[in-house]
Amino acid sequence: MNHDLKNGHGVQSLEIGIGVLKVLVESGSAMMLKEIAAAADMPPSKAHRYLVSLVRSGLVEQHSENSKYDLGPLAIPLGLAAVDRLDRVKLGLNSISELRDLTNETTALSVWGEFGPVMVRWERPRRPITVNVVTGNTVSLLATSTGRLFSAWMPMEIVRPHLERELLTGRSKEFKTLDQVERVLQEVRANGYSFVRDSDYSSRVLGLAAPVFNFKNTITMAVSIVGVEGISDLGPQSLALTELKRTTAALSKRLGSSR
């Protein structure tokens, strides 16, 4: 039997209680009763009744030292279980399609593979001159915006052997030592994104990439925009960068990141 959950009858008190819980989730820290009541737009006496039930359920706890309310012990496994069931790649694929439509640029999604960043999917824009991105390829850590992005946020013990290998082979003419690489990676971390001109694909190609973090606040994917010099605007004030950062921030939040 099919049930219309959107239009069917629900339990109003439960919905109100979830609204109170949502206030705590969005606050990012413990709150006093009056603060919760104000944010939930209800009298403190009413908010208190719902908080009593939420405390009994384990979703909320009250600190004895200051009487503030915060998320309880049940909230953690509940949140982790929800995040664990998310298909991160599916979410990412939907996002790069929307980003392509907003920017009219080539967009791509990457994850970390055995030998480095791997392109999972790319979306072609509606313009005559585009950049072909080969899916399944492991891209350079030094010569692409995606590679530098993962190098900046992946654990160094994982990244270092790959970086040293690329330096030995001379794949990137820009770097000779790991110290030179680290200076650039520090800039990437400070900016929150990576930009590369004349990338691994070919000359005149521009690469822009931003990280997606998971609930552990570690990088789990990269979203990138690939453009053509003289045609694409991927600069610091560009629509492309604004939408890219908005997209990756929304993905990170969806995956439980607090960054």
Which regions in the chain score pLDDT beneath 70?
1-10, 79-86, 129-134, 198-203
| Strands 60-62 and 117-123, sheet pairing | unpaired
Sheet hosting strand 205-213, strand order edge to edge: 117-123, 106-112, 219-228, 205-213, 194-197
pLDDT, position 127: 74
- Token reading at 194: 């990576």
| CA torsion through residues 170, 171, 173, 177, sign | negative
- Token reading at 70: 């915060």
61-80 tens-digit pLDDT? 999 889 999 988 888 777 66
pLDDT, position 13: 83
Residue 34, CB-side half-sphere exposure with 13 Å CA sphere: 0
pLDDT, position 34: 94
- What is the torsion angle, in degrees rounded to the nearest 10, for the CA atoms of residue 49, residue 53, residue 54 and residue 58? 150
pLDDT, position 80: 62
The CATH architecture of the domain made up of 12-83 is Orthogonal Bundle (1.10)
Domain with CATH 1.10.10.10 in the chain: 12-83
94-139 tens-digit pLDDT? 999 999 999 999 999 999 988 889 888 889 888 776 666 667 778 8
CA distance 254 to 87: 11
Entry pTM: 0.68
The CATH architecture of the domain made up of 86-254 is 2-Layer Sandwich (3.30)
Those residues with Cβ within 8 angstroms of residue 31's Cβ, 6 or more apart along the chain or in another chain: 23, 24, 39, 68, 69, 70
Taking a C-beta distance cutoff of 8 angstroms, is the pair 108, 133 a contact?
A: yes
pLDDT, position 101: 94
